Amino acid sequence: MPSRKLLQPPPSTVDFQKPTPNFPHRRHHHHHSLLPLLITAAAASILFLVLFLLFLRRRKRTAPSTTSTAGDDSKPPHRFSYSLIRRATNSFSSPLGHGGFGTVFSGTLPPPARTPVAVKLMDPTTTSSQQGEREFHNELFFASVLCQSPHVVAAMGFSSDPKRRRFLLVYDLMVNGNLQDALLHRKCPELMQWNKRFSVALDIAKGVLFLHSCNPPVIHSDLKPSNILLDAEFNARIGDFGLARLKSDPNLDVLDGGADFEEKKEGFLECDGGAVVVAVDDCETESVNTACYFEEGSLGVDHSPECFVRVPNLETSPETNGAGVSASPEMAVALAGAASLSPGFDKASSVQSEKGVKKNGKGMRSNSVRDWWWKQDNDEVAASSNPVGESKSVKDYVMEWIGKDVDKERQKGEWLGGEGGQLWKQEKKRMKKKKKKSRKHQLEWWESMEEEKFDDVLKKEKRRPARRWWKEEYGEELEKKKKKKKRKGLSNDDDDDDGNGNGSEWWMSDDALYRDRNAKKAKSKSRNNRGGADWWLEGLSGDLWRTRRNSFDSASGEIPKSGGVSSTPSMRGTVCYVAPEYGYSGDVSEKCDVYSFGVLLLVIISGRRPLQVNGSPMSEFHRANLLSWARHCARNGKLIELVDQSIQSLEKDQALVCIKVALLCVLKSPARRPSMKEVVGMLTGELEPPQLPVEYSPSTPSRFPFKTRKKGR
Ligand SMILES: Nc1ncnc2c1ncn2[C@@H]1O[C@H](COP(=O)(O)OP(=O)(O)OP(=O)(O)O)[C@@H](O)[C@H]1O
């Protein structure tokens, strides 16, 4: 049979003389039936190939890193379509929280990824859209590098439509939410175990160390509990890189100038010693214009971020260009902050404020910052100290505490309305009756915060009036300063140096406080125009009043969120957590993060906010300010009092190390703060346990700023 013949193996030698067997009819039939089959098969395979390629391409563009196959070198952030994100979040139906950027929703990426995600949707109506856009670009800029750390939550994807002002960021979902919520509100039982709390602190420290180990170092700028996210096992990861920046260092050995970049097509940002290629996606993806996030003059125009990293290419909105290459990060955020505060904000005013900020380099104007402070009012503090549920806000407390010092104008209208106003009226009546007593009492009360007058033993002693106390303690020093001041003259008081020959580092010296006090006396008239609460807050917060001088540690007070509303709509960094030097010297360094970490560590150990009043204000106020309280405990040798009493299975020695590390981190002088490497070393026990510096020793006299202010009034 011919078919059998076909299956036969070919002859080993071919006899070319022998005629080939002839099957004319059969051959003709094959020719006719195979041709259409072959054509169909070829067409089908081409079609299949095209479809396969399209599928691959689509997958590459949409699949998150977690679904990448081995060898797939595409790195986040990936671009998602808006409709995909909408489907993933079920039309943005499950909000997780709300921040300065907008609302965060939970969702799940469609198959094949099926990754649970958190989606940040920029809200162009309620926040400053300029700020939002900048944060969006900033997050993307850092995403591809930061995603490599297990202690960081970086954006894995994004979606942008500048024309419709739609900006979305996609992150891994951290199922246990943020630390602030888990620790302070929900009081998760897991976090009541010492081991877990300590591991959270260590995770954060390692995360910050990772950022600082990058080349150039990444400064987070906004470390605080609500930016620490917790996964299912309560492992902590640092999130929210909207305000992060690269450390500006002209000596950094980065890529050659921007001119070469086009050819290189990729950049480098070294992490943990190894060079990391930060190229993202192919030429069809978009790239971000992040030029405005870098320090003017430090990296220079030729050293724009594109020299460091290649990032997806987004259409640049006119606003972003408006801030442009010349805007530094501070400017950008301050500008955006101004926008968010002022309803009438427009581009012209933005340029103006940008100039203002640029000029003095001190961030926002004091008025704006002050307004911002009041905006942060919420009833959490009030609720904690007010079991009957009166809705008292921070300012109500201020006024109750300060009593008659509060400016009358503001009492009636500007600050208070409704319930707050009623409260004030009652308070005023009470204050009138006890006028003398009250004033004396306040002074003692302030003293108590730093000078431990509330200790049982000392309570029995006759208290000195604050003025006398101050004179006794610092009279000699003051006299010297007076003489020196006379010689120098008062004219250049505000801007001259602090005695260290370094005007930009005035906060390092307490001396400046006392000298400053005299000079302020001369200007008391203008200061008196401010309300008493201003004075109170200036003393208390330190960091709030960006444009004023604060020569003391930031005895900071956190403004808790109101219903999850961001506490940082307008400032770089967050009140209470921001380092005192931030925004003054322009020398923003890793030590700013170290300071914030110190506050964060104290919060973790103590399980409370930096500013918190529980129970009746008078009995609790000496503990209200966490930093002051921690210093007070250190001077008393009672550090353990800081530890949260609800912690179980406490390891006392480890807790003490944590507190000491925290106290070192919040030292006034950035140079004296440890590096994050040292912090991690001390926490893990690889380095010697920390020794507290001399200012925390019992003999060190406390110099509480309020007395200074009070005397000046
Ligand atoms: N990846 C995430 N997984 C789970 N929840 C998240 C995630 N990212 C953010 N959230 C939640 O959304 C909330 C808002 O986050 P967002 O970073 O926008 O603001 P914030 O950090 O609270 O405030 P701010 O804008 O002042 O920094 C967070 O507090 C957190 O509870």
Better pLDDT: 234 or 481:
234
What is the enclosing helix (H) or strand (E) of 167? strand 166-172
Local confidence band at 306 (pLDDT 50, 70, 90 cut-offs): very low
Q: How far is the CA of 227 from the centre of ligand 1 (A)?
A: 6
Question: Is residue 163 part of an annotated ligand binding site?
Answer: no
Give me the count of residues in the chain: 713
DSSP-derived secondary structure for 220-247 = -----GGGEEE-TT--EEE---TT-EEP
Local confidence band at 707 (pLDDT 50, 70, 90 cut-offs): very low
Q: How large is the average pLDDT for residues 225-252? A: 86
Local confidence band at 404 (pLDDT 50, 70, 90 cut-offs): very low
For the chain, the distance separating the N- and C-terminal CA atoms, rounded to the nearest angstrom, is 120
Whole-structure pTM over 0.95, yes or no?
A: no
Q: How high is the pLDDT of residue 242?
A: 87
Q: How high is the pLDDT of residue 425?
A: 60
Q: How far is the CA of 204 from the centre of ligand 1 (A)?
A: 16
Q: Is the CB of 118 under 6 A from ligand 1?
A: yes
> Which tens digits make up the pLDDT trace of 487-521?
766 544 433 333 333 333 333 333 333 344 444 44
Residue 171 CA: which ligand 1 atom is closest? 1
In the chain, the percentage of residues whose pLDDT exceeds 90 is 27
Q: How high is the pLDDT of residue 573?
A: 67
Q: How large is the average pLDDT for residues 148-175? A: 91
Q: Is the CB of 99 under 6 A from ligand 1?
A: yes
Q: How high is the pLDDT of residue 453?
A: 34
> Which tens digits make up the pLDDT trace of 417-434?
444 445 556 656 666 665
Predicted confidence (pLDDT) at residue 275 exceeds the cutoff of 70? no
Query: The tokens of 173 are what?
Result: 């979902």
Better pLDDT: 678 or 19:
678
Q: How far is the CA of 97 from the centre of ligand 1 (A)?
A: 6
> Which tens digits make up the pLDDT trace of 92-106?
999 998 887 889 999
> Which tens digits make up the pLDDT trace of 45-74?
999 999 988 888 776 554 444 333 333 446
Q: How high is the pLDDT of residue 58?
A: 72
Predicted confidence (pLDDT) at residue 235 exceeds the cutoff of 80? yes
Q: How high is the pLDDT of residue 145?
A: 82
Are 153 and 161 contacting, i.e. CB atoms less than 8 angstroms apart? no
Q: How far is the CA of 174 from the centre of ligand 1 (A)?
A: 10
Q: Is the CB of 573 under 6 A from ligand 1?
A: no
Better pLDDT: 220 or 553:
220
Predicted confidence (pLDDT) at residue 290 exceeds the cutoff of 70? no
Q: Is the CB of 128 under 6 A from ligand 1?
A: no
Q: How high is the pLDDT of residue 13?
A: 41
Look up the ipTM and state it. Answer: 0.97
Which residue CA neighbors atom 18 of ligand 1 most closely?
99
Q: How high is the pLDDT of residue 440?
A: 45
- Of the residues 89, 94, 96, which should be mutated to test ligand 1's pocket, given the most ligand atoms within 8 Å of the CB? 96
**Pairing mode of beta strands 78-79, 157-161:** parallel
Which residue CA neighbors atom 7 of ligand 1 most closely?
118
> Which tens digits make up the pLDDT trace of 552-575?
222 333 323 322 333 333 345 677
Which residue CA neighbors atom 6 of ligand 1 most closely?
177
Q: Which residues pair with 274 in a beta bridge?
A: 271
Q: How high is the pLDDT of residue 524?
A: 43
Q: How high is the pLDDT of residue 46?
A: 92
Residue 100 CA: which ligand 1 atom is closest? 25
C-alpha span between 680 and 661 (Å, rounded): 10
Are 115 and 84 contacting, i.e. CB atoms less than 8 angstroms apart? no
Local confidence band at 680 (pLDDT 50, 70, 90 cut-offs): very high
Between CA 568 and CA 574, with CA 573 as vertex, the angle to 5 degrees is 55
Better pLDDT: 208 or 346:
208
Local confidence band at 208 (pLDDT 50, 70, 90 cut-offs): very high
What is the separation of C-alpha 448 from the centre of its chain, rounded to a whole number of angstroms?
32
Catalytically active residues are 222
> Which tens digits make up the pLDDT trace of 313-362?
323 333 323 222 222 333 233 223 322 322 232 333 332 333 333 333 33
Predicted confidence (pLDDT) at residue 631 exceeds the cutoff of 80? yes
Q: Is the CB of 177 under 6 A from ligand 1?
A: yes
Residue 240 CA: which ligand 1 atom is closest? 17
Q: How high is the pLDDT of residue 26?
A: 46
Helices (H), 309-365: 318-323, 329-341, 347-360
Residue 120 CA: which ligand 1 atom is closest? 18
Better pLDDT: 636 or 289:
636
Q: How far is the CA of 300 from the centre of ligand 1 (A)?
A: 32
Residue 222 CA: which ligand 1 atom is closest? 27
Predicted confidence (pLDDT) at residue 380 exceeds the cutoff of 60? no
> Which tens digits make up the pLDDT trace of 653-675?
999 999 999 999 999 899 999 99
In the chain, the percentage of residues whose pLDDT exceeds 70 is 43
What is the enclosing helix (H) or strand (E) of 601? helix 590-606
Average pLDDT over the chain reads: 61
Half-sphere exposure of 549 (CA within 13 A, CB side): 26
Q: Among candidates 63, 50, 107, 87, which has minimal Cα distance to 281?
A: 63
Predicted confidence (pLDDT) at residue 709 exceeds the cutoff of 60? no
Q: How far is the CA of 152 from the centre of ligand 1 (A)?
A: 13
- Of the residues 171, 224, 229, 571, which should be mutated to test ligand 1's pocket, given the most ligand atoms within 8 Å of the CB? 229
Q: How high is the pLDDT of residue 652?
A: 95
Which residue CA neighbors atom 8 of ligand 1 most closely?
118
Q: Identify the three-state secondary structure at position 349.
A: helix
Query: The tokens of 189 are what?
Result: 């039982």
Q: Is the CB of 376 under 6 A from ligand 1?
A: no
Query: The tokens of 469 are what?
Result: 């106390």
